Amino acid sequence: MYSFVKRVLNATFVTIVVAVVGGMCSVLQAADSDKNQTIKGIVQQQDLRRVPQAVIEVKNQEGDMVSSGVSNDAGEFKIAVPEGGTYSVSAVQETYRSEYVVLMLGEEPVNPVTLTLSKTKEVSLEVVSPLPPIQTKASSETYSLSRKEIDILPRGNNNDLHDVLLTIPGAAYGSLKQVHIRQDHANLQLRIDGVPIPDTVSSTFSDVITPRAWERADIVLGGMEANVGNKTAALIDITTKSGTKPGFGSVQMFGGSNKTINPSFEYGGTIGEKFRYYFLNSHTATNRGIEPPTLGHSIFHGQSERNQTMFRGDYQYDNNNNITLLFLNSIAKYQIPTSPGQTVNPTILGLLPGGFTPVPSEMVDENQKENNQYRPFGLAARYQYQKLFQFGWVFPPHQSDL
């Protein structure tokens, strides 16, 4: 009996000792944890005098204040933070401020910090910046047409220039295949690969470059830059096709009413690693080249033919220099349509020399011939300041024989 009671007392004593020791360990661990989440230090002047009543600010990595406190009469402070992490500590008193001290609170206790106040100085900062460039596109509209968008149009890339322009808002079809854009007539400017085409090349009835040769085109309406000049109804900035590797090409035959036939051929490729080329030829024949003065499908003296040729060669001399040769040629002949059954004006006939016999109106034979050639030679060189030099000339001038 005595031995049993002795064993019970020993077990009870061991349990009490373990509980007391465990509790003490928990208290010590909590104390250590509280110690690790506390920032201690002193605030002093530059002459090492302690500073009382200084405000201590503790901020996290985002710059938000998480805790603050005030130094005591001895210049000491003790501030608790909610959790471990990286914090910056600084002291402020009136016009004095200390530097920021960065601390990392974790498992290891941090050493006390010393914050030294110094008088702050007011700094006046004036920021001078050049005026932003004038945003010309803010007052203008730009419509972009890619090769694919042209191909999905009715008749695809067999369309003429005026057919493509009619797809933009504010464009209306006029007589003689001319387009009115925003009620402005024949006031267009063409640019091929960034180079303006002289007026002598822009013909009356024919186009020097067919949409078949377009890689893309940006059509700018209204509010254009001063370098566009006086032709401001629309700026048509065309980027032509060039050779690719592997090469590409097509042979097409298009035809329809009014005895229209339009065979065409194009091919682009490369020679070696530095030279790219693209060639195109398109021939169009129809008996309705110019809109006739008569109604219906009957056309008198309206036969026309047009042949368009284009060649582009690009030689990449090195990474900074490229030489481009572009040749455009358009040869067209149009019969001026007539209106049959017109009567002779006796007043006009009386002013003519005697013996003059007028022919019937349907037999009047007048023609419009147009020969347009454009041969620019471009040298693009990119230097340190990314300057672009281009040279171009046109010959012979536009020739018209009516």
* Domain closes at, from 91, 119, 147: 119
Higher-scoring residue by pLDDT: 255, 14: 255
| Any domain includes 18 | no
Q: Is the per-residue pLDDT at 132 higher than 80?
A: no
Q: Do 114 and 169 reside in the same domain of the chain?
A: no
Higher-scoring residue by pLDDT: 45, 12: 45
Please write the tens of the pLDDT for every residue from 240-254. 999 988 889 999 999
| Any domain includes 182 | yes
Q: Do 374 and 334 reside in the same domain of the chain?
A: yes
Higher-scoring residue by pLDDT: 224, 163: 163
Please write the tens of the pLDDT for every residue from 342-383. 888 888 888 887 777 788 888 888 888 888 887 765 555 443
| Any domain includes 126 | no
How close are the terminal C-alpha atoms of the chain, in Å? 143
Higher-scoring residue by pLDDT: 85, 251: 251
Q: Is the per-residue pLDDT at 384 higher than 60?
A: no
With a pLDDT cut of 90, the percent of the chain lying above it is 16
| Any domain includes 127 | no
Q: Which of 251, 305, 307 is nearest to 283 (CA)?
A: 307
Q: Do 105 and 152 reside in the same domain of the chain?
A: no
For the residues 129-153, what does the mean pLDDT come to? 75
Q: Do 110 and 241 reside in the same domain of the chain?
A: no
| Any domain includes 196 | yes
Q: Is the per-residue pLDDT at 64 higher than 90?
A: no
| Any domain includes 360 | yes
Q: Is the per-residue pLDDT at 385 higher than 50?
A: no
Q: Do 210 and 89 reside in the same domain of the chain?
A: no
Higher-scoring residue by pLDDT: 394, 216: 216
Q: Is the per-residue pLDDT at 265 higher than 60?
A: yes
Report the number of distinct structural domains present in the chain: 2
Q: Is the per-residue pLDDT at 273 higher than 50?
A: yes
Q: Is the per-residue pLDDT at 227 higher than 90?
A: no
The answer to whether the beta carbons of residues 221 and 140 sit under 8 Å apart is: yes
Give pLDDT, residue 289: 84
Q: Do 166 and 46 reside in the same domain of the chain?
A: no
Give pLDDT, residue 355: 73
For the residues 52-74, what does the mean pLDDT come to? 89
What six digits make up the tokens of 51?
Answer: 């500073």
Q: Do 166 and 226 reside in the same domain of the chain?
A: yes
With a pLDDT cut of 70, the percent of the chain lying above it is 79
CA neighbours within 13 Å on the CB side: how many for 79?
29
The answer to whether the beta carbons of residues 278 and 287 sit under 8 Å apart is: no
CATH of the domain at 235: 2.170.130.10
Q: Is the per-residue pLDDT at 27 higher than 70?
A: no
Bridge-based pairing state of the strands 113-119 and 38-44: parallel
Mean pLDDT value across the chain: 78
Region of poorest pLDDT, from 9-23, 132-146, 163-177, 386-400: 386-400
Domain housing 89: 39-119
Q: Is the per-residue pLDDT at 112 higher than 80?
A: yes
Give pLDDT, residue 144: 87
Q: Do 162 and 237 reside in the same domain of the chain?
A: yes
Q: Do 64 and 212 reside in the same domain of the chain?
A: no
Q: Is the per-residue pLDDT at 310 higher than 80?
A: yes
Q: Do 177 and 322 reside in the same domain of the chain?
A: yes
CA neighbours within 13 Å on the CB side: how many for 2?
0
Q: Is the per-residue pLDDT at 130 higher than 90?
A: no
Cα–Cα distance for residue pair 213/322, rounded to 1 Å: 21
Q: Is the per-residue pLDDT at 198 higher than 50?
A: yes
Q: Do 295 and 154 reside in the same domain of the chain?
A: yes
Q: Do 145 and 223 reside in the same domain of the chain?
A: yes
Confidence class for position 193, pLDDT limits 50, 70, 90: confident
Give pLDDT, residue 14: 45
Place of tokens 């490229």: 322
Place of tokens 């032709």: 231
Cα–Cα distance for residue pair 67/78, rounded to 1 Å: 11
| Any domain includes 11 | no
The answer to whether the beta carbons of residues 113 and 103 sit under 8 Å apart is: yes
Q: What is the pTM of this model?
A: 0.56
Q: Which of 174, 178, 151 is nearest to 162 (CA)?
A: 178
Name the burial class of residue 220, with classes exposed (0-12), middle (13-18) and buried (19+) by CB atoms within 10 angstroms of its CB.
buried
CA 97 distance to own-chain centroid: 49
Q: Is the per-residue pLDDT at 32 higher than 90?
A: no
Give pLDDT, residue 7: 59
SS3 per-residue string spanning the chain: CHHHHHHHHHHHHHHHHHHHHHHHHHHHHHHHHHHHCEEEEEEECCCCCECCCCEEEEECCCCCEEEEEECCCCCEEEEECCCCEEEEEEEEECCEEECCEEEEECCCCCCCEEEEEEECCCCCCCCCCCCCCCCHHHHCEEEEEEHHHHHCCCCHHHCCHHHHHCCCCCEEECHHHCEEECCEECCEEEEECCEECCCCCCCCCCCCCCHHHEEEEEEEECCCCHHHCCCCCEEEEEEECCCCCCCEEEEEEEEECCCEEEEEEEEEEEECCCEEEEEEEEEEEECCCCCCCCCCCCCCCCCEEEEEEEEEEEEECCCCEEEEEEEEEEEEEEECCCCCCCCCCHHHHHHCCCCCCCCCHHHCCCEEEEEEEECCEEEEECCCCCCCCCCCCCCCCCEEEC
For the residues 298-321, what does the mean pLDDT come to? 89
Angle at 205 between CA 203 and CA 209, to 5 degrees: 60
